[in-house]
Amino acid sequence: IVGSYINKVQDVSFRENRYTVDFYVWFRWKAEGPLADYKPLESFEILNGRIDSKTSVIEKKIGDVSYASARIAATIAETWDLTDFPFDWHRDQVRIEDSSLTALDLTFVADHRYSRLGDEIELVGWQADNFGTEVQKRLYRTNCGDTSLPTDALSKYSRYVFSWDIDRVGWGAAIKLLSTVILATGVAFVS
């Protein structure tokens, strides 16, 4: 079981196609079979970004269930569609996979009950809402250069995705932009 809680989103840069996100991630599993020595905080990776820091690491047993959590600061690469500017909205995602275990040994289950968007997210001019989590299967058609595997080798991984929308707040920016364009066009016609 994997879940996430977003603390903050900042440094949103449409020009550089990136933003930073601060979030908690946690894992719960029974340490048996292929997961007997599982260390999710060491083996998970963010596919559409990079982990900048990992703090507040907790690893413990809750009965017969293993639990691990950490606070992650990450830079996420995102290509936003700005064709509807200034009336645009965007769906942002963080995609997590385990780098060592395929879907044969590990299948994520989203912790819908405890995963959510934090209450203190402040993005100037934007509103964050519509948080969601899902688990996908991702098929890779490569042997990653491992010549001990067949050339047509396939690998399937479980992927945990948490996402949210950012919407522009109000019509102020659109009205300012359009009124400036209309005023400039009017001045051009008068001259």
pLDDT band of 96, cuts 50, 70, 90: very high
Is the predicted pLDDT of residue 165 greater than 70, yes or no? yes
Please write the tens of the pLDDT for every residue from 34-83: 899 999 999 999 999 999 999 999 999 999 999 999 999 999 998 878 78
Chain-wide mean pLDDT for the chain? 88
Better pLDDT: 191 or 46: 46
Is the predicted pLDDT of residue 178 greater than 70, yes or no? no
Q: Under a CB-based contact definition with an 8 Å cutoff, are residues 164 and 132 in contact? A: yes
Q: Under a CB-based contact definition with an 8 Å cutoff, are residues 178 and 113 in contact? A: no
Q: Under a CB-based contact definition with an 8 Å cutoff, are residues 135 and 23 in contact? A: no
What average pLDDT does range 171-186 have in this prediction? Answer: 70
Give 27-32 contacts, CB < 8 A, sequence gap 24+.
Answer: 27/1, 27/2, 27/66, 27/67, 27/68, 27/69, 28/1, 28/62, 28/65, 28/66, 28/67, 28/111, 29/1, 29/65, 29/66, 30/64, 30/65, 30/66, 31/66
Q: Under a CB-based contact definition with an 8 Å cutoff, are residues 99 and 140 in contact? A: no
Could you tell me which residues come within 8 angstroms of residue 181 by beta carbon, excluding any fewer than 6 positions away? none
Is the predicted pLDDT of residue 144 greater than 60, yes or no? yes
pTM: 0.82
Please write the tens of the pLDDT for every residue from 108-122: 999 999 999 988 888
What average pLDDT does range 142-155 have in this prediction? Answer: 75
